[in-house]
């Protein structure tokens, strides 16, 4: 989930907003991550108690939620903004921003690297996890180096004021853009729900009873994903759940909320220190390059290279996890809800969706590049539609956990209150 969280919102959307308007709306970024902390913990509550992903749970409420979430996932993810943007960062790093190759070519290269990672090892999840962990280390160390190079107390003071300036919206930025930016501060949109897959594959809670997805190309056979389990509400099981719940809280507070908040603040700090004072508002597709050039003026060629590596690692990791999560979501929903789909194993469906998604993404990039739609347009589309998805699934998730879980493990007053607040925020923006 951290691989999704440290992505386009952190390195493209929010730095661009800060470059243009300053830090006076930074509060929305911090709020977005904080609300998602509570949402993710409720996703974790459902999965560790049942072994199911939230998608399976939603289908318990109404079978129509399966097709609905397929549609929302498809509309928000079909245009590969992260692959295109990471490809541009890789291009700038290797041949320069005006060097050899179109956006489409570098998107194809990016997807080729992703395919090697997804279909190389026997266990798909292990490959994704190890790659994302390495990318997060690169991003974090790179950002620390950047801040050391350009940091000043005045910039920190201005950024701090913006984080406390709750409710302010610059009149020159639309509600739609601010909403999209808040959604993508964190994993955002449908992507938070991928946390359920992570917990199952890590054998956390009842997820340990669900078989892992293995590499279909290597001919491995994975067990059929079934509905999950409802544990008996005994003192022994409540104690076990308490241990699992402690893991969820530590995982989300440390590795989602804290790490994501710090990296987002560092990215905004860079834009506030480097771009905003010079009045540089990067054009779509050039933000990473513009920041790298500005950093190069302060720290030489090494600074420029470091930021390009950080940019590529950030966006590549996001696209990797998005592609894996979207393919798992489609395979999970279709396999669970469509009887005829069970004539094939779930790994086969995963491979079909994954391969088809990459091919379609490359074709869309080719078409959109010809008509002048940028990578930023791709990403804002995903964020805006993701906000509508959250307006639907956040209250639905609270109902699911209140209605179907044993009483002893249902959300308490604090969790219920925060989920209601989150629901009102996303519904309010969506309408």
Q: Are 46 and 405 in contact (CB under 8 A)?
A: yes
Tokens of 288: 């990473």
Tokens of 414: 């604090």
- Judge whether residue 265 has pLDDT over 70: yes
Q: Is 234 helix (H, G, I), strand (E, B) or coil?
A: coil
- Judge whether residue 9 has pLDDT over 70: no
pLDDT, position 216: 62
- Judge whether residue 6 has pLDDT over 70: no
Average pLDDT over residues 362-368: 92
Q: Which residue has the higher pLDDT, 390 or 142?
A: 390
Check whether domain 2-430 has CATH 1.20.1740, yes or no: yes
Place 277 in a pLDDT band, splitting at 50, 70 and 90: confident
Q: Which residue has the higher pLDDT, 243 or 146?
A: 243
pLDDT, position 363: 94
- Judge whether residue 51 has pLDDT over 80: yes
The 10s digit of each residue's pLDDT in 373-416 is 877 777 777 888 888 999 999 999 999 999 999 999 999 999 99
Query: Residue written as tokens 């541009």?
Result: 88
What residues contact 145, with CB distance under 8 A and at least 6 apart?
Answer: 303, 306
Alpha-carbon distance of 50 to 64, in angstroms, equals 21
pLDDT, position 413: 97
Alpha-carbon distance of 182 to 185, in angstroms, equals 5
pLDDT, position 430: 82
Place 66 in a pLDDT band, splitting at 50, 70 and 90: confident
Average pLDDT over residues 358-364: 93
Query: Residue written as tokens 């990403």?
Result: 379
Torsion of CA 292, 295, 299, 303, to 10 degrees: -30
CA 177 → CA 5, 28, 387, 405, distances in Å?
A: 18, 11, 11, 37
The pLDDT mean for the chain works out to 85
Place 213 in a pLDDT band, splitting at 50, 70 and 90: low
pLDDT, position 393: 96
Write down the domain spans for the chain: 2-430
Place 259 in a pLDDT band, splitting at 50, 70 and 90: confident
Q: CA-based angle 415:418:423, to the nearest 5?
A: 120
What residues contact 337, with CB distance under 8 A and at least 6 apart?
Answer: 59, 63, 66
The 10s digit of each residue's pLDDT in 168-206 is 999 999 988 899 889 888 878 888 998 998 898 888 888
pLDDT, position 215: 62
């Amino acid at each position: 989930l951290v691989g999704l969280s440290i992505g386009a919102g952190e390195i493209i959307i929010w730095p661009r907003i800060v470059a243009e308007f300053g830090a006076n709306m930074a509060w929305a970024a911090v709020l977005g991550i904080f609300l998602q902390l509570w949402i993710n913990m409720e996703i974790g509550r459902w999965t560790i108690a049942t072994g199911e992903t939230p998608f399976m749970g939603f289908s318990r409420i109404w079978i129509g939620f399966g097709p609905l979430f397929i549609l929302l996932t498809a509309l928000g993810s079909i245009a590969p903004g992260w692959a295109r943007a990471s490809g541009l960062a890789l291009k700038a790093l290797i041949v320069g921003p005006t060097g050899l190759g179109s956006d489409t070519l570098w998107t194809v290269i990016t997807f080729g690297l992703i395919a090697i990672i997804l279909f190389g090892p026997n266990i798909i999840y292990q490959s994704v996890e190890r790659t994302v962990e390495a990318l997060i280390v690169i991003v974090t160390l790179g950002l620390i180096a950047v801040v050391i190079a350009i940091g000043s107390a005045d910039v920190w003071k201005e950024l701090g004021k913006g984080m406390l300036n709750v409710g302010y919206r610059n009149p020159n930025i639309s509600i739609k853009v601010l909403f999209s930016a808040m959604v993508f501060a964190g994993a955002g949109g449908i992507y938070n729900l991928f946390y359920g897959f992570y917990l199952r594959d890590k054998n956390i809670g009842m997820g340990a009873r669900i078989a892992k997805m293995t590499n279909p190309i290597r001919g491995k056979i994975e067990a059929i994903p079934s509905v999950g389990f409802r544990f008996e509400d005994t003192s022994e099981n409540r104690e076990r759940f308490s241990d699992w719940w402690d893991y969820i809280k530590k995982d989300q507070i440390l590795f989602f909320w804290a790490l994501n908040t710090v990296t987002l603040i560092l990215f905004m700090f860079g834009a506030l220190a480097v771009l905003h004072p010079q009045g540089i508002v990067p054009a779509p597709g050039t933000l990473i390059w513009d920041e790298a050039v500005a950093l190069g003026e302060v720290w030489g060629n090494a600074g420029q290279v470091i930021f390009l590596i950080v940019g590529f690692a950030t966006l590549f990791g996001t696209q990797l996890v998005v592609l894996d999560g979207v393919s798992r979501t489609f395979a999970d929903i279709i396999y669970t809800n469509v009887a005829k789909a069970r004539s094939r194993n779930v790994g086969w469906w995963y491979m079909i969706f994954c391969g088809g998604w990459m091919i379609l993404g490359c074709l869309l990039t080719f078409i959109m590049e010809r008509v002048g739609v940028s990578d930023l347009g791709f990403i804002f589309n995903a964020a805006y539609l993701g906000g509508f998805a959250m307006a639907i699934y956040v209250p639905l998730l609270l109902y699911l956990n209140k209605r179907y879980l044993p009483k002893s493990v249902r959300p308490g007053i604090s969790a219920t209150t925060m989920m209601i607040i989150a629901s009102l925020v996303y519904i309010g923006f969506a309408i």
